[in-house]
Structure 1
């Protein structure tokens, strides 16, 4: 998908029928305006390349809510971004595999550059 593809199409590409899909379809998280919501055509991809802060995605390998291709594509668009896939974890990787999640989080944080004073 192109960097200008709307968020709803982006998440749906590999997640037909997921909770994320249902939220988009009924105007939930991203669809209908209001506090914490974005327009249905919201697509963050064009801006990801402009991020200048450390970014590291932690994603469950068995996540059925957000396909693994989404953080892979996001990481590819963000300069210096990383991705760790949590083996044996689903959407709630911090609960599914807390020890693996915490190990991955510590490693990701340790790899972050020191903040300039």
Structure 2
């Protein structure tokens, strides 16, 4: 697999809070839509427990995929 093909299989998680002042949520949602495996979620400040669960879920999927890919 070439370098340009490999990055396309990497998940991209965009977590954004509605109170984030520096980057509008629309930027993150657009980036997630453009990323081949992008996901966009609001909430890290508003619902930290839910965001932690989401991040753990994504990391578990990545770990499972990586394990399968290298087995």
- Do both share a fold (TM > 0.5)? yes
Secondary structure class of the residue paired with 1:106: helix
Following TM superposition, by how much is the alpha carbon of 1:97 offset from its aligned partner in structure 2, in angstroms? 5.0
After superposition, the CA RMSD in angstroms is 2.4
1:30-45 matches, within 5 Å, as none
1:66 to 6, 16, 23: 23
The reply on whether 1:107 has 2:57 as its aligned counterpart is: yes
Following TM superposition, by how much is the alpha carbon of 1:66 offset from its aligned partner in structure 2, in angstroms? 0.9
Higher helix proportion: 2
Secondary structure class of the residue paired with 1:114: helix
Unaligned runs of 5+ in 1: 1-50, 90-95
Unaligned runs of 5+ in 2: 1-6
- What TM-score comes out, normalization by structure 1 length? 0.43
Count of equivalent residues: 61
- What TM-score comes out, normalization by structure 2 length? 0.64
Q: Which protein shows a greater Rg?
A: 1
Secondary structure class of the residue paired with 1:102: helix
